[in-house]
Amino acid sequence: MNTRTSKVFEVLVTMATIHLVAVVVTEYTVNNRDAVPELFNNVWHVIFLISLTCVACLILDYLLLYVERASGRKQTTQKKVLAVICSVGICVEIILPIRYTDTVYGSYLSGMKAYALYAVVVYTMAMQAVLFLRYWEILGKDRSRVLFASLLLFVVMAGIQIFRPYLLLTDLAVTMFVLGIMVNTEDSHVYISYGTGLYNEIGCREILREALLLKKPFSVGVYVFLEGKSDIAAAMLSVQRQIPEKRTRLICGTLADNVLIVLPINSWTKGLAPVKYLPKPGELDHKLGYTSEIFRFGGDETVPEILDAVRDYKNRYEESALQRDELTGLLRRAAFIRQVEYMIKNKKGFTFVMVDLDDFKSINDIYGHKVGDDVLKYVANTFNTVLRTSDAVCRIGGDEFAIALCGVTDCATVREIAERVRKGLEEQTVLPDDRCSVRLSCGARLWNPKEGEPSFQELYTEADAALYKAKRGGKNRLFIAGEFLADRMA
């Protein structure tokens, strides 16, 4: 994972590898000092000592960082003490002279250099045991058991090494402990989503926990997608490619099949990278809807609070999307009925308008259904441009629309709005040539609260009858129920 804890683990693996090499070389040079140059032997023995000291300290540092992430409690004092002990141990191992003891079993290092190493190893093991006992529940019982078993193995082998110095078992102890960490806390399969290869919710939680440790404001980007899983996966990966991790210090994760989250990741020197903008997914086609938002947090929240805010955003969008037509983005029939009934209940006068595209079948026959869909989207966009946000616009089905003009209860205003819509459609460039044009017929029913409270179906029936008269009167017309003449919109 791209966290401080994982960065320490990477360094730990590197030092463990160096130690393994140093063990092999030192074992040979110490027992063959007559055949090996003294300087060469001394250098490799110092590398052996320093690498083992660093490994022991890094293991404890890793556990301290992991405890911080899991508990949310800073371990500043312990980390400072560890840094001092590690620095003193390394200085002693470099400065003091090397002394060897020869036995029938082999030669080994003795004296203050060895004691400095033993002191560091014993301190780190003791502190690891304390951390396990103190934070057993927080770290998780299953992980704690395996990590504690790795620690016991490390203690046993280190004890044998201290009391039988000629037996080099530290390489095996270090290897087993590193494997224990890798299997339990650094296993990529635990944190990666199989569908996209991005971090899953578990990985996102770990990154957020580390971000919250800084107690500083930060921002999080969220995408919520609709439609097919394969299209969503492509869109997510497109976003991830536009936010290169190394350059932006931002990382993408998935909280659900259709939720992508953009997280700031910790830098050793610069804190958290702010999420300043969210790129548009490149693989989106006209059928795949999405919404995106940047959330800002103060740094004193908890991980559940942050994820709850994201889920609330997701639920609101999905609920809203269920009320919208997939192609045009206009209200569906059920949502439109609720809006009309609300206006009637609250005695807000309005005009119910039924709209139907003229000769839409010819557009589909001549240009194909793809152009037909583009025309429907263009008409919907014209409605959204011309009409007010207080007006309700619905796609009833096919090329039929319904509009509730809130507060409009006179014929002149209805005609004026219809004329604006007509002019908006005249500006269209959606059709490739002039063989067809986008025109529409309208039927309107004005409703005033003084009339009583009609049902939606009654208003719908009267407006639809007016639309039928407009169609029968020659199309491209507005017919208002109660009037005897149709107004031609051309």
pLDDT in single tens digits along all 490 residues of the chain:
778 888 888 898 899 889 888 888 888 888 787 888 888 888 888 898 899 899 889 989 988 988 888 888 888 899 999 999 999 999 988 888 887 776 766 666 677 888 888 899 889 888 988 888 888 877 777 677 777 777 777 777 777 777 776 666 666 677 777 777 777 777 778 888 887 889 999 899 989 988 888 888 999 999 998 765 567 888 899 999 999 888 888 999 999 888 999 999 876 656 788 888 899 887 555 456 788 999 999 989 999 999 999 999 998 887 777 788 878 888 888 888 988 998 998 888 999 999 999 888 888 888 888 888 888 888 898 888 889 888 999 998 888 999 999 999 899 999 999 988 888 887 766 777 767 778 889 999 999 888 888 889 999 999 999 999 988 888 888 999 875 444 444 4
Bridge partners of 290, per DSSP, are 225
**Domain end among 168, 186, 204:** 186
**Residues 346 and 479 both lie in one domain:** yes
**Residues 154 and 169 both lie in one domain:** yes
**Residues 139 and 274 both lie in one domain:** no
Position 392 in a domain? yes
Position 420 in a domain? yes
**Rounded to an integer, what distance in angstroms lies between the CA atom of residue 79 and that of residue 324?**
55
Position 327 in a domain? no
**Domain end among 288, 322, 356:** 322
Give the global pTM: 0.65
What total of structural domains would you count in the chain? 3
**Domain end among 155, 186, 217:** 186
Which residues, 6+ apart, have CB-to-CB distance to 182 below 8 Å? 9
Position 30 in a domain? yes
Q: What is the dihedral of CA 228, 370, 278, 225, to 10 degrees?
A: -20
The label of the residue with tokens 């009309």 reads 340
CATH number at residue 350: 3.30.70.270
Residue closest to 401 by CA, chosen among 384, 426, 424: 384
- For the chain, the distance separating the N- and C-terminal CA atoms, rounded to the nearest angstrom, is 65
**Rounded to an integer, what distance in angstroms lies between the CA atom of residue 173 and that of residue 155?**
8
Q: Look up residue 303 and give its two tokens.
A: 């991980």
Beta strand pairing status for 400-406 and 350-357? antiparallel
Note down the domain range covering 421: 333-488
**Rounded to an integer, what distance in angstroms lies between the CA atom of residue 421 and that of residue 415?**
10
